Amino acid sequence: MPVFRYLAIDPAGLVQRGTMEAADGAAVADSLQRRGLTPMRTDPAGAGGFFGELVATEFSWRRDALSHQDVAIITRELSTMLEAGQDLDRALRFIVETAANARIRIVMDRVRSKVRGGGALAAALALEGRSFSRLYIGMVRAGEAGGTLSATLDHLAALLERERALSASIQSAMIYPALLLVAAAGTITLLLTSVLPQFAPLFAQNGAEMPAATRTMMAMGDFLSVAGPWMLIGFLIIGLAARQALKDPAIRLPVDRILLRLPVAGLLFRHTLAARFSRTLGTLLKNGVPLVATLSIVKDALGNLAAVAAVERAAAAAKGGGGLTQTLAESHIFPPRAIHLLRLGEETAQLAKMALKAADIHQEEAHRTVERLVALLVPAITVAMGGAVAAIVGSLLLAMLSLNDLAH
């Protein structure tokens, strides 16, 4: 029986995607409707086996999917237009007409069409699930319900800009170690595959045997020359397979827990999670979203299943009348300082304010941790590269000395 991919909207207005075996697209639509979903699209999943599905999943690129930067720009512009007294339709038309690229124009034109047809902005955004997260849609829905859409978009724009600034700072800091690592790998590969082999004919012509160190390096160079391209392909396939496997929660959860326990890098992950959780929590609470609803939205912005599980337990405790911070503290996921500030916010009825304060503190801690990580990585890569190059140059010197002895 053929397999179909589907896109549907659930009763809460959220986009649901998945695959289903059915006789045809109409049968998929009927099955989705019986489950209470509104089918939007059904397409054959296609052939190609596991590898074909893997490549299709990882390399499919939607031209009309917005980047995080696009969404941040749109949100800030919408907030500015609404704050200036423009109605939503005119604000959306402004976004479409002044779009910086085709992706923004295509997506926002569809959003505007849905809104002009009588739909709510949150419902229109929910149909663009690849561009707008559940957090984004939930905040917009709360702003529309409370009549504070302009202020909500302003808070949301600030949240997205802070998130983008944190991600950009981490990525920028890691560029130099990454380039250094690539340069080291390229230098070592060049020496092994291009420089060392030039000595082989000299020894063959003189009927002499190479030193053991030179033979070892030559063997490594021969191996890289023959197997190098296949190793790159193998690493690519393994990487894609690993990404696919990590979509399974049973595999992802223990991996996420291990990442949080790593030295230095684990501390960076924990500070980043604390900053993201606290800022999102504070922004939603400041926007008037109830705590339990806030926690159900916040967990989708974390990106770490161990943290998601901790927040789910905290949400269950809050729903039962318990405290938020006690359950979070028991999980040992978030740094103690974040827990302390959130507990202080609970006790003084200033949870939103203290959550935003905790976010600022842990964002700064994340910056400092990145600096320490780079300070460790750069010397480590440099020393490793120096050691490898020294070993190769040493084998070259031994070869040259052996040839000199033969000449005498």
Under the phi-then-psi rule, with left for phi > 0, alpha for psi from -120 to 50, and beta for the rest, what region is 393? alpha
> For the residues of 332-385, what is the DSSP string, one character each?
T-S-HHHHHHHHHHHHTT-HHHHHHHHHHHHHHHHHHHHHHHHHHHHHHHHHHH
Distances (CA, A) of 271 to 166, 264, 312: 11, 11, 19
The pLDDT score that the predictor gives to residue 238 is 92
Task: Count the neighbouring beta carbons within 10 Å of the beta carbon of residue 30.
Answer: 13
- 172: DSSP letter: H
- 119: DSSP letter: -
Cα separation, 267 vs 260, in Å, equals: 7
The pLDDT score that the predictor gives to residue 46 is 53
Whether the CA torsion 380, 381, 386, 389 is positive or negative: it is positive
Retrieve residue 308's tokens. Answer: 């998601």
Angle at 48 between CA 43 and CA 50, to 5 degrees: 100
Residue whose token pair is 């060049």: 190
State if pTM tops 0.95.
Answer: no
Retrieve residue 287's tokens. Answer: 């926007």
* Nearest of 133, 164, 186 to residue 299 by alpha carbon: 133
Residue whose token pair is 């600034």: 165
Cα separation, 75 vs 59, in Å, equals: 28
Phi, psi of 87 (to 5 degrees): -80, 165
Average pLDDT per 10 consecutive residues for the chain, totaling 408 residues: 73 67 78 76 56 42 69 87 84 85 87 86 84 81 80 84 79 84 86 79 70 82 84 90 85 89 86 88 82 81 85 85 82 89 89 90 87 84 87 80 64
Question: 15 forms bridges with which residues in the sheet?
Answer: 9
Q: Are the beta carbons of 18 and 6 closer than 8 angstroms? A: yes
